[in-house]
Amino acid sequence: MTGERRGTLYLVGAALLYSTGGVGIKAVDAPPLTIAACRAAIAAVALLVMLRPRGWRWTPTFVAAVASYALCVTTFVVATKWTTAANAIFLQFSGVVWILLLAPRLLGEPRGPRDVPAIAAALAGLSLLLFSNLEPPGPGDAVAVLSGVFYAGLMLLLRKERGVSADAAVMMGNAAAAGVLLPVVLATTGIGLSLPSALILGWLGMVQIGIAVVLLTRGLRWVGAAPAALVGMLEPVANPIWVLLLLGEVPSVASIVGGATVIAAVAWRTMATPVTTQMLPPE
């Protein structure tokens, strides 16, 4: 198995774990900032235990990665609470376009011949998947688009800081989000969680963020930012599957066709590993 194929498997696992976030966030009976603060605090502790990063430095790129991560996860929680989970994840993934456009210039990664048609097909599939659910734009949708900008910055910066620095960046990003949000929450609404909500937040922090981040940073050691973003599109495809399994909601024909289109586009791109687009081994 090549390094890129191994990295792709890590990224698939991360996307599937991330895809449980929408259902989990919707299920927690608490304001969005409370959810974001508690999830980030739990994730920071979990990542400290699992990653134990050492040897990283506070470079401008590292600081930018920390800030992008904190802003990305916070805006996503707010968007998920303010609009539909489908809207939030679809609009956040608009950041993939920025990654495709900027990765060659900022990271020096060659653009693969399949990147442009694959991402076009994947976005078309996502549009079809969510067409019947996409509501008129509102505040939640605007926050989701903003989350997509931070997502793009995060993916580009983590690829640049791959290795120990990337591990430290995601850990510190969660710590930064918790450090900023917890005082605000305690001074305003307080935490006050029910037992079911606390258990769901435990999953969101330790598994949906913690383990998923470990898989993500490992995958980015071998896979470029643009193809990694394409694999990440499995997240919004898996979201309605979790809804079906946990809430009994049957997806529409458009959802099935759209999801199949995304999976086919991702498979078509990631199964090709021409020499000119293979990534260097992790540093």
User: Residue 1 has what pLDDT?
Assistant: 60
pTM for the predicted model, two decimal places: 0.77
| Residue 150 half-sphere exposure toward CB, CA atoms < 13 A | 19
Residue 225 lies in a domain: yes
Task: Report CA-CA distances (Å) from 257 to 116, 129, 262.
Answer: 21, 7, 9
* Predicted confidence (pLDDT) at residue 218 exceeds the cutoff of 90: no
80: left (phi over 0), alpha (psi -120 to 50) or beta: alpha
Residue 49, domain member (yes or no): yes
Q: pLDDT category, 162, cuts 50, 70, 90?
A: low
| CA-based end-to-end distance of the chain | 19
Q: Is residue 35 part of a domain?
A: yes
For residue 283, is it within any domain?
A: no
Residue range 119-150, pLDDT digits in tens: 788 778 777 766 655 556 678 878 988 898 89
What pLDDT is attached to residue 114? 75
Which two three-digit tokens encode residue 182? 């917890």
- For residue 100, the one-letter residue type is L
pLDDT in tens, 228-249: 767 777 887 787 778 778 867 6
Least trusted range by pLDDT, from 19-23, 139-143, 185-189: 139-143
Looking at this protein, which amino acid is placed at residue 261? T
pLDDT at 181: 94
> Which residue shows structure tokens 């990653």?
51
| Structural domains in the chain (count) | 1
Give pLDDT, residue 72: 92
Q: Look-up: residue for tokens 């442009």?
A: 116
Task: Give residue 276's pLDDT band: very low, low, confident or very high (50, 70, 90).
Answer: very low
Helix, strand, coil content of the chain in percent (nearest 5): 75, 0, 25
Least confident of 24-33, 125-134, 174-183, 274-283: 274-283
Share the mean pLDDT of the chain.
80
Whether residue 9 is contained in a domain is answered as yes
d(CA 29, CA 178): 19
Contact call for residues 151 and 79 (beta carbons, < 8 A): no
Instruction: Compute the CA torsion angle 235, 240, 244, 246 (nearest 10 deg).
Output: 50
Domain of 163, in residue numbers: 3-277
Assess whether pLDDT exceeds 50 at residue 277.
no
Pairwise CA distance, residues 230 & 43, whole Å: 25
- Of 217, 227, 283, the closest CA to residue 14 belongs to 217
Q: Between these two residues, 282 and 29, which has the higher pLDDT value? A: 29
Q: 127 in a domain, yes or no?
A: yes
pLDDT confidence of residue 68: 92
Can you tell me the distance from the alpha carbon of 269 to that of 144, in angstroms, rounded to the nearest whole number?
26
Q: 183, exposed or middle or buried, with CB in 10 Å at 0-12, 13-18, 19+?
A: exposed
pLDDT grade for 258, boundaries at 50, 70 and 90: confident
- In tens, the pLDDT along 82-114 reads 887 777 777 777 777 777 777 777 766 666 777
99 assigned to some structural domain: yes
Tell me the per-residue pLDDT of 44-83, one tens digit each, with 9 for 90 and over: 999 999 888 777 778 888 899 899 999 999 999 999 888 8
Q: Is residue 282 part of a domain?
A: no
The C-alpha angle 97, 103, 108, rounded to 5 degrees, equals 160
**Which amino acid is it at 104?**
P
Q: Return the pLDDT at 109.
A: 66
